[in-house]
Structure 1
Amino acid sequence: MESWVEAIRRGERRRIARAISLIESAREEDRSDKEALLEALYPHTGNAWLVGITGSPGAGKSSLVDQLVQHVRQAGWTVGILAVDPTSPFTGGALLGDRVRMTRHALDDGVFIRSMGSRGSLGGLARAAKEAARVLDAAGFDLVLVETVGVGQSEIDVMHTVDTVALVLTPGSGDAVQVFKAGIMEIADVFVVNKADLQGAQKLLREVEDLLHVIEGQSSWLPPVLTTVSKNGQGIGCLWQELCRHRDFLKQSGEWEAQRQYRLLQEVREMLESRLRMRLLERMAAPDLQTDLEQVRERKMAPHQAVNKWLDTVFKGGGSV
């Protein structure tokens, strides 16, 4: 494990890729190796700046990321990219197409691109993406970009992974009011009206600005609204400036560390809930608990009595969660 960690910290791409593949594995036999790797890497994390690029499908997020990476590389930053693609509910497979749009960066040693299937996670964000971002952080990348699927209200999930969120909108994608009703307003630190060369871009820009003025004063950070054209790079420099301005704001206000501490606590809670749910389901398969279910069906035992008994079984039964 020490050799793995050292190779990752040196930025060896093959080891980084293998580490992320291990993290993505759902096999129980890989669990101990995965946890050992993450434990060994953890002390070397916390240095990368994590930026989420989110928005509805077809908004041009991948093309925008491609242009942003080029701009960032010219500034001397190294970049890790996690592109979370939707997983088919029918085949379980994912169309991992974002790397196709970023082929010009494939041979750049300062860029690492990885596509991941969402595996049905809420927000289109694979649970493994958080841990994969940690691998890229430990590998020394200055910036980690997380591009999410873009599926409505559940996009809020990205907030628990990154430091800065850029929400990409496009003209003709619907009433801006609906975007705000969906709760996405709360997670966006920067609004980007992409494909600004299309009709309706300025109208969308004004609508978002008007809606933002409604919440002005409720937060010390008022998200900027800007326009880009990802196909030719227009507005990318301005986007980078606004992202950096938000990072500086977080650090100067003290919210940088506060947000990161909150996200770590949330991650621990989520992992606890997941493990406890699995443990409970395993215990509920026992014959004696099935007997209790029959007692509930026959109204010989109240539901809360059965729940209390099952909880006692889980927490007093010993063994590892």
Structure 2
Amino acid sequence: MTDENFIKKVREQDKKTVSRAITLIESSNGSANQLLKSLHKFTGNAYRIGITGPPGAGKSTLTNQLTRYYRRLNKTVGIIAVDPTSPFSGGALLGDRIRMSDIGSDPGVFIRSMATRGSLGGLSKKAVEAADLLDAAQYDIIIFETVGVGQSELDIAKAADTTVVVLVPESGDSIQAMKAGLMEIADIFVINKSDRQGVDATYTALTTILHLYNRKEVVPEVIKTVASENKGIEELAVEIEKHRKSLIESNLLESNRMNKLKERILENLNYLINEEISGIIETSLIHELAELTLEGKLSYVEASELLLNKYKQKLLGK
């Protein structure tokens, strides 16, 4: 599945081939790694947008309408809807994909639901790799739509060039307690369902806090939308484009991507080291060390250090 014809079909946005390629990436085998290596030289052209926020904020509807806007501009769009992992199958719950089925038939749109697979950040390593594949498949815009929001969801900022945090008017009371991390990752805030009561109070509270506590050079804009009625979508798209241009003009787009790549390299290194160690580690030795730790003869830190020293020699001797 990694031959020249397969790569060619991915590059041509053949949906069946792109879908098979993402399935291959999810399998985490040697062929998946080879595919990613072959496609890497074609990446770096797509603009990546992250959309995150609490359940019920209307992220899927917002993504749907934003995609329609980009299609009117003749831009192709790849959507990765990251769902909670199903407790039964381990796969993604397809709620987002069902809600966006009306744009799924568009030849210029590709939608894939992916499971978080226990990733605390709400955006799995495989979702980021799938975005690389969509980038190589020459989609102009890639949208991540992630589940939930909070301190554990901040890895969306590691994958997206522009991060959009979606709130609702009812968020007003909780904005005062908004976590600093969320304030830092958001490039744009959206108050969706802004036809509801309380929107003005929420807008005032959010803009006040942003001006008081924002650490970025530019205070994030706050956009009011009613995604179900396609209101505010163009304003949001214009703001995303303004942010993209400001990143390019200040050379931050390239430097931000460089920093994100450094993190990905280190994360993959840790993954490879764990894979190597798990292949040679003796479970009986771990059990023995755990018993000694339970008896108070070793601390868990000392036990870990003993394991490291033992297997470091084996790894270096390979």
TM score, norm. by length of structure 1: 0.91
- Residue 17 of structure 2 corresponds to which residue in structure 1? 15
Q: 1:239 aligns with which of 218, 236, 240?
A: 236
Q: Does 1:164 align with 2:162?
A: yes
Shift of 1:127: 1.8
With over 3 angstroms needed to count, the CA separation of the structure-2 counterparts of 1:151 and 1:285, relative to structure 1, is farther
Q: Distance in 1 between matches of 2:112 and 2:133?
A: 12
Contact 1:176 1:204 in 2 (8 A): no
1:260 equivalent in structure 2 = 257
**Aligned equivalent of 1:206:** 204
What is the one-letter code of the residue matched to 1:45?
T
1:136-175 matched pairs, under 5 angstroms:
136-175=134-173
The Cα shift of 1:151 comes to 3.5
Partner in structure 1 of residue 192 of structure 2: 194
Correspondence for 1:228: 225
Distance 1:246 1:200, change over 3 A: same
Name the SS of the counterpart of 1:145 in structure 2.
strand
Deviations 1:171-211 (A, max 9, x none): 11352434532521110000000001000111111111101
Pairing partner for 2:178 from 167, 177, 180: 180
Identity %: 42
1:318 corresponds to: 315
Shift of the 279–178 alpha-carbon distance from structure 1 to 2, 3 Å rule, reads farther
Offset, 1:309: 3.2
Cα distance in 1 for residues equivalent to 2:19 and 2:89: 24
CA contact (8 A) 2:80 2:114 kept: yes
Contact 1:176 / 1:207 at 8 angstroms: preserved in 2?
Answer: no
Deviation by residue 1:9-49 (Cα, 9 ceiling, x = unmatched): 111111100011111125xxxx1101000000011101100
Compute the displacement of 1:141 (Å): 0.5
1:59-117 alpha-carbon deviations (Å, 9 max, x no partner): 00000111111111111111000001111446634321112222221221111111111
Relative to 1, partners in 2 of residues 1:197 and 1:282: Cα closer, same or farther, differing over 3 Å?
same
C-alpha separation between the residues in 1 aligned to 2:61 and 2:34? 36
1:312 Cα deviation from its structure 2 partner: 2.5
Greater mean deviation of Cα atoms: 181-190 or 127-136: 181-190
Give the 3-state SS of the residue equivalent to 2:56 in structure 1.
Answer: coil
Deviates more, 1:311-320 or 1:48-57: 311-320
Work out whether residues 92 and 113 of structure 2, in 8 Å CA contact, stay in contact via their aligned partners in 1: no
**Structure 1 counterpart of 2:66:** 68
**After the TM superposition, which residues 263-274 of structure 1 pair with which residues of structure 2 at under 5 Å, given as runs?**
263-274=260-271
- TM-score, normalised to structure 2, is 0.92
What are the superposed Cα offsets for residues 234-257 of structure 1, whole Å, 9 maximum, x if unpaired? 011100000000000111111101
Contact 2:172 2:201 (8 Å CA) reproduced: no
**Cα deviation per residue 1:269-302 (whole Å; 9 max; x = unaligned)?**
1122223334444544344554455555556666
* Contact kept in structure 1, 2:166 and 2:189, CA below 8 Å: yes
CA distance in 2, matches of 1:178, 1:141: 38
| Partners of 2:66 and 2:195 in 1: CA distance | 18
Shift of 1:125: 1.2
Residue type of the alignment partner of 1:114:
R
Unaligned runs of 5+ in 1: none
Preserved contact between residue 82 and residue 92 of structure 2 (Cα < 8 Å): no
Whether contact under 8 Å (1:51, 1:165) holds in the other structure is: yes
C-alpha change, 1:174 and 1:213, in structure 2 (3 Å) is closer
Q: Alignment partner of 2:204: what SS?
A: helix
CA distance in 2, matches of 1:9, 1:145: 18
- In structure 2, relative to structure 1, the CA distance for the partners of 1:320 and 1:71 (3 Å cut) is farther
Contact 1:53–1:165 (Cα < 8 Å) also in 2: yes
In the TM superposition, structure 1's runs of 4+ consecutive aligned residues that sit over 6 Å from their partners are none
> Cα–Cα, structure 1 residues 285 and 75, in superposed 2: closer, same or farther, change >3 Å?
same
How far apart are residue 316 of structure 1 and its match? 1.9
Distance, in Å, in 2 between the alignment partners of 1:133 and 1:83 is 11
Aligned residue among 288, 294, 306 for 1:309:
306
Unaligned runs of 5+ in 2: none
1:308 and 1:143, CA in 2 relative to 1: closer, same or farther beyond 3 A? same
1:124 deviates by 1.6
Amino acid at match of 1:14: K
